[in-house]
C-alpha cells in the first residue's frame, strides 16, 4: 500500500514529536543523586583535613566523619553559589590538590 508523500511526512513528524515527548518524560522520572549519611553535616572535628591531599580516601573519610549526605569538592576555579544546605560538606582545594578548608554550608 502506498501513501501520498504529504501523509508520510506528517506521519514522520508526528513520530518525532512522540519520540521527543517520551525522551523528556524518561528524563523527568529518573531519580536524582543518591545521598549517603544521615543528612546532618557537622564540621566540628574536621580540622585534621586541612593540608591533606584531596584524594578519594580523604574525601570518603570526611563524608563519614561529617555525616554529610553530599560532599562537594571546590577547586580554585570553581564557581560557588552562596546557598545553604544542612546536608552538604564543601571541601575547598588549592591548586596543589591540598585541602584548605572543610565546612558545612
pLDDT for residue 7: 53
Has residue 35 been placed in a domain? no
Residue 73's domain spans which residues? 47-104
- pTM metric for this prediction: 0.63
Grid cell listed for 68 = 554529610
Q: Assign 71 to helix, strand or coil.
A: strand
Angstrom CA distances, 21 to 7, 18, 92, 95, stand at 21, 5, 40, 44
> Following DSSP, what letter does each residue of 76-102 receive, concatenated?
TT--------TTEEEEEE-TTSBEEEE
Asked if 74 and 101 count as a contact pair (C-beta separation under 8 A), the reply is no
Q: Between 13 and 56, where is the model more confident? A: 56
- Tens of pLDDT along 24-45? 444 444 444 455 555 689 999 9
Q: Are residues 54 and 98 in the same domain?
A: yes
In this prediction, residue 29 carries a pLDDT of 46
pLDDT digits (tens, 9 = 90+) for 64-99: 999 998 999 999 998 888 888 889 999 999 999 999
- 54 and 95 assigned to the same domain: yes
Amino acid at each position: 500500500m502506498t501513501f501520498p508523500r504529504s501523509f508520510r511526512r506528517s506521519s514522520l513528524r508526528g513520530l518525532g514529536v512522540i519520540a521527543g515527548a517520551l525522551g523528556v518524560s524518561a528524563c523527568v522520572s529518573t531519580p536524582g543523586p543518591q545521598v549517603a549519611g544521615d543528612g546532618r553535616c557537622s564540621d566540628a572535628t574536621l580540622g585534621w583535613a586541612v593540608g591533606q591531599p584531596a584524594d578519594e580516601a580523604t574525601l570518603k573519610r570526611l563524608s563519614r566523619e561529617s555525616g554529610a549526605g553530599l560532599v562537594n569538592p571546590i577547586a580554585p576555579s570553581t564557581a560557588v553559589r552562596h546557598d545553604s544546605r544542612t546536608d552538604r560538606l564543601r571541601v575547598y582545594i588549592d591548586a596543589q590538590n591540598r585541602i584548605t578548608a572543610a565546612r558545612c554550608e
